[in-house]
């Protein structure tokens, strides 16, 4: 997948996060489905096409600074349901359907303490037209240190992330399905990284409701 496609999705979901997630926190959680089909990418087969780390980071497009309405092309994502701490959404910018689950961290820390930053989000998206299923992305709220890696710890398992601008993705694409499975079964995901100014951050994301949110999003993107 080309890196600019990642950033287009990042921009769209940041827009969603800006107006949707705070409101969702005030809504009651949707009831759990009686039966929840396992999303295709949670199982070892079919194997998802490999995603490659770019040789050198590309600059984010100018659209990153554009007004929200212009970036999203006037497409407003639709809420499919709120499940615990995760919201399930769908949108079709440019006629290309995207389904995703998104959440804010339950707690955030910086070292040195109280350093200012933008909001942080974790989302898991599927884009059928690009043959991408359950891709985990993190928006950290500041520019990462150049050429640095971040990590996400789920229970006793740690996954390495590569970074670009303020986004992070799993470094080894072959491990992504395993990471999603671990998130489904886990209690929290702890993301650690370092900013361009040397600030170290720890963001803890509750995984309560993630499995239900993914199941609901995957149903819409079958």
Domain ranges of the chain: 3-30+63-220
Q: What is the pTM of this model?
A: 0.72
For the chain (length 222 residues), average pLDDT per consecutive 10? Answer: 48 49 42 36 36 33 31 67 93 83 94 91 90 91 93 96 91 94 96 95 97 94 82
> What per-residue confidence (pLDDT) applies to 215?
96
> What per-residue confidence (pLDDT) applies to 192?
97
Token pair listed for 206: 């509750």
> What per-residue confidence (pLDDT) applies to 135?
92
For the domain made up of 3-30+63-220, the CATH class stated in words is mainly beta
> What per-residue confidence (pLDDT) applies to 71?
36
> What per-residue confidence (pLDDT) applies to 92?
83
> What per-residue confidence (pLDDT) applies to 11?
52
> What per-residue confidence (pLDDT) applies to 204?
98
> What per-residue confidence (pLDDT) applies to 24?
47
Token pair listed for 183: 């998130």
Token pair listed for 32: 């759990």
């Amino acid at each position: 997948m080309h890196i600019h496609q990642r950033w287009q999705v990042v921009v769209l979901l940041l827009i969603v996060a800006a107006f949707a997630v705070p409101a969702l926190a005030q809504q009651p959680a949707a009831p759990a489905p009686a039966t929840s089909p396992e999303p295709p990418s949670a199982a070892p087969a079919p194997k998802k096409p490999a995603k490659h780390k770019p040789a050198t980071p590309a600059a984010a497009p100018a659209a990153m600074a554009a007004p929200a309405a212009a970036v999203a092309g006037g497409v407003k994502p639709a809420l499919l349901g709120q499940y615990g701490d995760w919201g399930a959404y769908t949108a079709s910018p440019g006629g290309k359907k995207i389904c995703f689950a998104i959440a804010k961290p339950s707690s955030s820390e910086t070292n040195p303490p109280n350093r200012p930053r933008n909001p942080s989000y974790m989302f898991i998206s599927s884009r059928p037209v690009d043959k991408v299923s359950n891709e985990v992305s993190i928006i950290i709220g500041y520019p990462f240190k150049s050429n640095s890696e971040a990590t996400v710890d789920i229970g006793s398992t740690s996954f390495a992330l590569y970074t670009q601008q303020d986004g992070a993705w799993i470094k080894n694409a072959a491990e992504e399905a395993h990471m999603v499975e671990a998130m489904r079964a886990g209690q929290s995901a702890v993301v650690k990284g370092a900013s361009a100014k040397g600030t170290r951050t720890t963001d803890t994301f509750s995984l309560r409701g993630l499995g239900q949110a993914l199941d609901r999003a995957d149903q819409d993107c079958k």
